[in-house]
C-alpha cells in the first residue's frame, strides 16, 4: 500500500453545499435563507435570545427565591481502583491525587468511593469516604483520615 492508494472512509467526507446554483439544485433563489428580513441579509447574525429590541424573556422574568444548588458541597469522586497506582505505604492526599490527574477541577473536597478493589496499604487523607471505600482501605491494612471540608469565606462587613 502506498500513499496514493489511501482512500477516505465512505461517508466521512461530504460535498460542499453549493448555494445559488439554480432552482433545480434545491438551493437556488434564496439559497436556504428563507424569505426577506434581517436573517436573509449578508453578514447577519443575531445573538441567542435577541427579540428585535423588545425586552428579552430572560430579563423579563423575576429572579428571586432560594436555590439549594448554590450552597451544595461538591466533591470530586475518586474510586479505590484508581489508588492502586500509588506505592505501598504511601500517603495519598488531595495534592497527590491532583498531581497524578485523578482529581481535576474546582471542588470543595475529594470523596473516595468504593468501586474496584485496593491491593495496597495506603494512608488516605480525603474530605469524605463512602462506607464501602472505608471498609476496602481498612481491610487492605490502610488508614482513612478525614480532612475538614473547605469552608466558604464569610462576607466582609
**Average confidence score pLDDT of the chain:** 90
| Global pTM exceeds 0.75 | no
Q: What's the Cα-to-Cα distance from 72 to each of 100, 119, 130, 152, rounded to whole Å?
A: 26, 33, 18, 11
Q: In the structure grid, which three cell numbers stand for residue 104, read together?
A: 481535576
Domain annotation for the chain: domains and CATH numbers: 73-146 (3.100.10.10)
**pLDDT digits 0-9 by tens, 21-66:** 999 999 999 999 999 998 899 988 899 999 999 999 999 999 888 8
| Interatomic CA distance for residues 69 and 64, integer angstroms | 14
Phi, psi angle pair for 155, to nearest 5°: -65, 145
Amino acid at each position: 500500500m502506498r500513499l496514493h492508494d489511501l482512500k477516505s472512509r465512505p461517508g466521512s467526507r461530504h460535498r460542499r453545499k453549493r448555494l445559488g446554483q439554480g432552482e433545480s439544485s434545491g438551493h437556488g433563489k434564496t439559497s436556504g435563507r428563507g424569505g426577506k428580513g434581517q436573517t436573509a441579509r449578508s453578514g447577519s447574525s443575531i445573538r441567542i435570545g435577541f427579540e428585535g429590541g423588545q425586552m428579552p424573556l430572560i430579563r423579563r422574568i423575576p429572579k428571586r427565591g432560594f436555590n439549594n444548588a448554590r450552597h451544595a458541597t461538591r466533591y470530586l469522586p475518586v474510586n479505590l481502583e484508581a489508588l492502586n497506582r500509588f506505592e505501598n505505604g504511601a500517603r495519598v492526599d488531595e495534592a497527590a491525587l491532583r498531581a497524578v490527574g485523578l482529581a481535576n477541577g474546582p471542588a470543595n473536597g475529594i470523596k473516595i468511593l468504593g468501586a474496584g478493589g485496593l491491593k495496597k496499604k495506603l494512608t488516605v487523607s480525603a474530605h469524605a469516604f463512602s462506607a464501602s471505600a472505608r471498609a476496602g482501605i481498612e481491610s487492605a491494612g490502610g488508614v482513612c483520615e478525614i480532612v475538614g471540608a473547605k469552608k466558604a469565606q464569610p462576607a466582609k462587613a
